[in-house]
């Protein structure tokens, strides 16, 4: 048995594209079999049993690793990256090619959650053929398991149906659909009148009929979300839609409280609960780093790990002297002497 385990470890090392020995000391590759992969079937089972579904929107490798480690069910690579990561005022500027870069980064970091990639504005509105082509790219080039598209106009319903018929899982999105702010007149909640509330439910039902496996309900009153959730046979994922949905989604940066600067208020929604105050921690860490660099207390001996022997220092200094680099030779010798003492350079270094 011990021999078998040793062979398996050796095989994993041989198959890995990560060098065994590097100058970096970061996290080791995750065990692929640590947890079972979440699929659309997994979500259907949770919905059938009445178990809430957890979704987090993330855009890069580090956040995907965190989402994976936390056991979140779905990682959504949202076009909100345009605002949260790239600093735009809306989601409209981001392109499909840029979205694919975000998708690939997330796919490298998250091995357990169902991965859903947004179709960005401009890559699926023209025709069902365009929509299918874009969805195929999100799976083949982006490494996603499914796509999400916004809206419930007849053309969007047709696009969703065509993508499903092409063999790709689709998550719908109704209520506040950020890509439609030109029509909506800004980031405005939906479903606040009888007609608008009925439209939310009808649109969600139409997306279900088109074959969507779930529908996001964004910024609608809780009774409207409750009605839609009751009417549908597929999960609803709420964001600013109250507690009666089948699951909830928040943006990674929002829920962690990363956006602490007042300028970020425009992209931090009022419905978001901050489960952490990471932004303040980041600000303090950066300030501490700046101070330690300026006072020359970083890096100290514990963060200067790579050594050269005294004999080699002498040989190095002699070689520098022969090159006519006397000051460089003196600097090397002084650094060697310094590392043997307190490791902190003098003010004149």
List the catalytic residue out of 218, 292, 327, 340: 218
92 by DSSP, 3-state: which? coil
**What pLDDT is stored for residue 160 in this prediction?**
97
What distance in Å separates the CA atoms of residue 140 and residue 107, rounded to the nearest whole number?
12
What distance in Å separates the CA atoms of residue 249 and residue 23, rounded to the nearest whole number?
38
Residues 6 or more apart whose CB falls under 8 angstroms from that of 142 comprise 77, 99, 100, 103, 104, 107, 117
**What pLDDT is stored for residue 112 in this prediction?**
96
Told to judge if 51 belongs to the known catalytic residues of this protein, a careful annotator would answer no
Q: CA quadruple 189, 190, 191, 196: dihedral positive or negative?
A: positive
**What pLDDT is stored for residue 11 in this prediction?**
40
What distance in Å separates the CA atoms of residue 118 and residue 141, rounded to the nearest whole number?
13
The per-residue pLDDT for range 151-170, each reduced to its tens digit, is: 888 999 999 999 999 999 99
103 by DSSP, 3-state: which? helix
Residue 273 has pLDDT above 90, yes or no: no
Residues 6 or more apart whose CB falls under 8 angstroms from that of 283 comprise 260
pTM for the predicted model, two decimal places: 0.81
Percentage, residues of the chain above pLDDT 70:
80
Least confident of 56-60, 68-72, 234-238, 336-340: 336-340
Least confident of 15-24, 242-251, 329-338: 15-24
What distance in Å separates the CA atoms of residue 237 and residue 171, rounded to the nearest whole number?
10
The per-residue pLDDT for range 321-332, each reduced to its tens digit, is: 999 999 999 999
What distance in Å separates the CA atoms of residue 104 and residue 82, rounded to the nearest whole number?
16
- 123 phi and psi angles, rounded to 5 deg: -110, 5
For the chain, what percentages of helix, strand and coil (3-state, to nearest 5) are there? Answer: 50, 10, 40
**What pLDDT is stored for residue 275 in this prediction?**
77
64 by DSSP, 3-state: which? helix
The per-residue pLDDT for range 23-41, each reduced to its tens digit, is: 555 555 444 444 689 999 9
Angle at Cα 281 formed by Cα 279 and Cα 287, nearest 5°?
Answer: 105
**What pLDDT is stored for residue 162 in this prediction?**
97
Long-range contacts of 193-198 (CB under 8 A, 24+ apart): 197/221, 197/223, 197/224, 197/227
- 226 phi and psi angles, rounded to 5 deg: -65, -40
Q: CA quadruple 235, 40, 153, 242: dihedral positive or negative?
A: positive
Q: How confident is the model at residue 43 (pLDDT cuts 50, 70, 90)?
A: very high
């Amino acid at each position: 048995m011990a021999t078998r385990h040793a062979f398996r470890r050796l095989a994993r090392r041989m198959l890995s594209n990560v060098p065994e020995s590097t100058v970096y000391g970061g996290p080791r590759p995750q065990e692929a079999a640590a947890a079972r992969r979440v699929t659309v079937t997994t979500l259907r089972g949770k919905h059938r049993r009445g178990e809430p579904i957890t979704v987090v929107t993330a855009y890069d490798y580090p956040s995907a690793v965190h989402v994976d480690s936390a056991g979140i069910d779905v990682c959504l690579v949202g076009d909100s990256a345009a605002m949260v990561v790239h600093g735009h005022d809306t989601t409209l500027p981001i392109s499909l090619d840029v979205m694919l870069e975000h998708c690939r980064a997330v796919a490298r970091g998250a091995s357990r959650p169902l991965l859903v990639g947004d179709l960005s504005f401009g890559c699926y509105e023209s025709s069902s053929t365009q929509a299918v082509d874009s969805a195929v790219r999100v799976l083949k080039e982006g490494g996603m398991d499914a796509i999400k598209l916004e809206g419930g106009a007849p053309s969007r319903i047709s696009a969703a149906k065509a993508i499903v018929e092409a063999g790709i899982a689709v998550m719908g999105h109704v209520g506040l659909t950020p890509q439609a702010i030109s029509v909506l007149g800004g980031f405005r909640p939906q479903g606040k009148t009888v007609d608008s509330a009925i439209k939310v439910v009808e649109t969600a039902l139409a997306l279900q009929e088109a074959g969507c496996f779930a529908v996001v309900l964004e910024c609608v009153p809780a009774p409207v979300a409750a009605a839609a959730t009751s009417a549908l046979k597929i999960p609803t994922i709420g964001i600013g839609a109250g507690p009666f949905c089948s699951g909830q989604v928040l943006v990674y940066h929002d829920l962690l409280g990363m956006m602490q600067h007042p300028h970020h208020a425009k992209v931090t929604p009022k419905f978001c609960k901050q489960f952490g105050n990471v932004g303040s921690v980041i600000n303090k860490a950066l300030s501490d780093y700046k101070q330690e660099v300026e006072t020359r207390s970083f890096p100290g001996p514990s963060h200067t790990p790579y050594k050269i022997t005294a004999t080699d220092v002498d040989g190095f200094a002699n070689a520098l002297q022969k090159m006519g680099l006397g000051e460089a030779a003196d600097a090397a010798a002084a650094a060697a002497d310094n590392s043997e003492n307190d490791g902190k350079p003098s003010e004149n270094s």
